[in-house]
Amino acid sequence: MSLGRKKGNALCRLMIFNILICVLVVVSWKRGNNKGNPKRIRIPSQRFWRRQIMSKSFWNKEQQRLDMINNPLINSELSGDSLIGLPDWLHDTGPLDPCEADYRVPRQILDYNTLPTRFQDFLLHMHCRMYPMLINQPHVCDEKPFLLLVVKSLIYNFDRRQAIRQTWGQAGFLANRTVTTVFLLGNASSMDNFPDLQEMLDHEAKLHKDLLQWDYRDTFFNLTLKEVLFLEWFSTYCPQAQYVLKGDDDVFVNTLRVIDFLEGLSEGKAKDLFMGDVISNAGPQRDKKLKYFVPETVFLGQYPPYAGGGGYLFSGDLAKRLYNISQKVVLYPIDDVYTGMCLEKLGLVPEKHKGFRTFDIEKKYRDNPCIHRGLMLVHSRTPQEMLKIWPWIVHPELDCQ
């Protein structure tokens, strides 16, 4: 076909299209002028979004409140002196200081008195995210890390931290890349009957310069606090790190495999990277005896896809966005679910990778060096097992073809 004919065809189509639009405009104008037509467009003179139904569950209700406050449409109305049209429950905020115990809680949660103590503690303090740092390493990221290894630990796990330093968490150069390791710690409260190990910890911090500690009670339900305090720390002291691997102190990480994987990423994929052992279609456990039990009075709904908290890998860029968005998500007592909620709010879905084995590998493979070379992360391993496995990873003679 010649170019001229092609052009002619296109012109012809354009003209027909124009005529059609003309007809449509004329018809709609005529209709609009027809005074008796009940279908005229009416511009609302008042609030036109749907009135939100208040959830009966405490967490959902607090999240609705936060969503409302962060909604730019409603925000302008909130800042003015008129709060007309907003539901009453929006006014019923907690204490002015978010770090004071919130005594609305026992009033608002009908079965509060029958809940396990860890829930009562969580609910009373869930709005506080400001805890002073007891130990910091402000210069630990001065040599821009390619990979920051972040390990959730507890004060008394000295041996686990040491095993990690001697194996997969060796700071310095690895595969020609800068790797930096930090351990995240809270405070061991005498309330929980822990012996005072703070002096030993201070000594360890001086020796290795890799501990970060905040002054809050280090409990299972405060792991979410550990997560957001870390994200805040990262945004302040380590924003230039390229990638972050965050895990427990009883996982084994094949750092070489992780670096190799990261080097192969395309730029587009690297920015939004969030990868791990992803759990989809999960929801809260309603059996009181289970570790992950959450009552209906606290949370209703399904969980978004989330990566098991044993260990996941993400980009430094995303870590900063997670910190920002976390301020718009109410703390949830299960830390990895909480991170999934933040990702969902960012419009991202965590990616599942077979190399993350937070539920371990089959027993028959646990002594197989070559299987371990293919893994990214496996849970759980004792300090002694870590020292046994690491040579399998770095040994140059081992032939795994």
Binding site for ligand NAG (CB under 6 A): 118, 121-122, 125, 134, 176, 187, 189-190, 198, 215-217, 219, 221-222, 320-321, 324
CA 374 – CA 27 distance, rounded (Å): 68
- Cβ 320 to ligand NAG shortest distance, Å: 4
Instruction: State the number of CA atoms in the 13 A half-sphere of 334 facing the CB.
Output: 23
Nearer residue to ligand NAG within complex by CB, 9 or 70: 70
- Cβ 70 to ligand NAG shortest distance, Å: 11
Q: Which two tokens stand for residue 102?
A: 């919130």
CA 337 – CA 247 distance, rounded (Å): 14
Nearer residue to ligand NAG within complex by CB, 239 or 369: 239
- Cβ 121 to ligand NAG shortest distance, Å: 4
Nearer residue to ligand NAG within complex by CB, 75 or 324: 324
- Cβ 125 to ligand NAG shortest distance, Å: 4
Nearer residue to ligand NAG within complex by CB, 190 or 281: 190
Q: DSSP readout, 8-57?
A: HHHHHHHHHHHHHHHHHHHHHHHHHH-TT-TT-----SS--SPPPPPPSS
Nearer residue to ligand NAG within complex by CB, 318 or 376: 318
Nearer residue to ligand NAG within complex by CB, 299 or 356: 299
Q: Among residues 259, 245, 256, which one has the least CA distance to residue 372?
A: 256
- Cβ 260 to ligand NAG shortest distance, Å: 12
Q: Which residues of 228-240 are buried (b: 16+ CB within 10 A; e: fewer)?
A: bbbbbbbbebbee
Nearer residue to ligand NAG within complex by CB, 259 or 278: 259
Single-letter residue type at 283 = G
- Cβ 325 to ligand NAG shortest distance, Å: 8
CA 199 – CA 182 distance, rounded (Å): 19
- Cβ 32 to ligand NAG shortest distance, Å: 43
Contacts of 373 (CB under 8 A, 6+ apart): 254, 257, 392, 393, 398, 400
Contact predicate 254/273, CB 8 Å: no
Instruction: State the number of CA atoms in the 13 A half-sphere of 57 facing the CB.
Output: 14
